[in-house]
Amino acid sequence: MSDTHILVINSGSSSLRFSVYDMRGERQIADGKIEQIGEGAAGPADHRAALAQALAGIADRDAIVAVGHRVVHGGERFLAPTRMDAAALAELARFDALAPLHNPANRLGIALGMELLPGRTHVAVFDTAFHHSLPPAAMHYAVPAQWRARGVRRHGFHGTSHRYVSREAARMLGKTPAETNLISLHLGNGSSVTAVRGGLSVDTSMGMTPLEGLVMGTRPGDIDAGVLLHLLREGIDPRELDDALHHHSGLRGLCGENDMRAVRALAATGNADATLALEMYCYRARKYLGAYGAVLGRVDALVFTAGIGEHDADIRARVLAGLEWFGVRLDAERNHACRGQRAMAIHAPSSRVAILVIPTNEELEIAREVIGLLEPRATPGHAPARATHRRRSDP
């Protein structure tokens, strides 16, 4: 492949991020973010105008050979990076209800990319794909067989981030991914924890949808299903319930703020609700660390990533507090000095488990997945994708 420029698009509901990588050296040569799409004079009128604006700012569009698109939910149909065509795009629409905040906008970005950049290979890379290695005991819910036959199971998310940092962690430890066991904490407005054994996801905190698991910015994480049944019996409108679970729970539901910086500032004033929000956020993460330590048996490293995980030293310290029995010992000075500018080890010399902070790079990982699909041998250590998407008749 003489030209190896890969355009990566992450299309959100009101924003569009893009990056261009020259994959001969994994060098980023362009990037940008367009916000306030469709929100008046401040931003582009629609996603088509936003993508056209992004493309206009890329100097050498002719060198782009393929476009990688981030998609949150691929269900059981899309198991690996997938070449997009009209049929695949139509089937992808079936999963909008499972990730309503993300998938519709992701699909729109693919459709517009195919329209504005014809003649290129368009590849969807799924957040759920990394977690298709979950063993059955971790994948399934204890629900009736009829539900399982309808696709009720755990999928997991943030897979592109967890895959990227797990590879980087293995490199930092001087191991191959196949030799490495670790727990990856992707802590941001959306948060998840993943247990990685030998480079494969074997358990993860999010479930069939991104609502399960940790306390998040606006999502509750783990909650008794009986609570939801109770609210429905009490007459809450299902649409109101959906809105509350996606937009008004988590940190926001606890203290009115969903940005961790604002929560911490509010807690510093003595606000009891914000203090509780901080305690619950860190407690839930610490609880999952203990659980996944039991799942893995041997843990080589804990990895913090994403906005909070990379930049908030206090949250890292709170999450790890009391885990000395687990072989985890934090170096307070290193932790305080680490602000996410670069990958860094923050464990004390006596720690049996490495503690790493690794800035995630989902865009680069998507570009790697695209090259891995187009030319498996062109990406060192990259296994070729084994599947695109299953036909509807497949089991």
Tell me the mean pLDDT in the region 74-96.
Answer: 91
Token readout for 70 is 């981030």
Active-site residue, selected from the candidate residues 127, 203, 300, 312:
127
Asked whether 198 and 225 are in contact (CB, 8 A), the reply is: no
**Mean pLDDT across the chain:** 90
**Segment among 45-59, 80-94, 320-334 with least mean pLDDT:** 45-59
Q: What is the pLDDT of residues 127-149, one digit of tens each?
A: 999 999 999 999 999 999 999 99
Instruction: Give the angle 232-234-235 at the CA atoms, nearest 5°.
Output: 65
Q: Does pLDDT of 387 surpass 50?
A: no
Q: Each residue of 4-27: pLDDT tens digit?
A: 899 999 998 888 899 999 998 899
Q: Give residue-wise pLDDT tens across range 171-221.
A: 999 999 999 999 999 999 999 999 999 999 999 999 999 999 999 999 999
pLDDT at 379 over 80: no
Q: Tell me the pLDDT band of 377, cut-offs 50, 70 and 90.
A: low
Confidence at 289, pLDDT banded by 50, 70, 90:
very high
The model's confidence at residue 100, banded by pLDDT at 50, 70 and 90, is confident
Give the per-residue pLDDT at 277. 98
Residue 389 has pLDDT above 50, yes or no: no
Mean pLDDT of 232-252: 96
For residues 93-122, give the mean pLDDT. 89
Domains and CATH numbers, the chain: 5-126+364-378 (3.30.420.40), 174-357 (3.30.420.40)
Higher pLDDT, 381 or 374: 374
In whole angstroms, what is the distance from residue 345 CA to residue 303 CA? Answer: 9
User: Does residue 220 contact residue 253 with C-beta atoms inside 8 Å?
Assistant: yes
Told to judge if 62 belongs to the known catalytic residues of this protein, a careful annotator would answer no
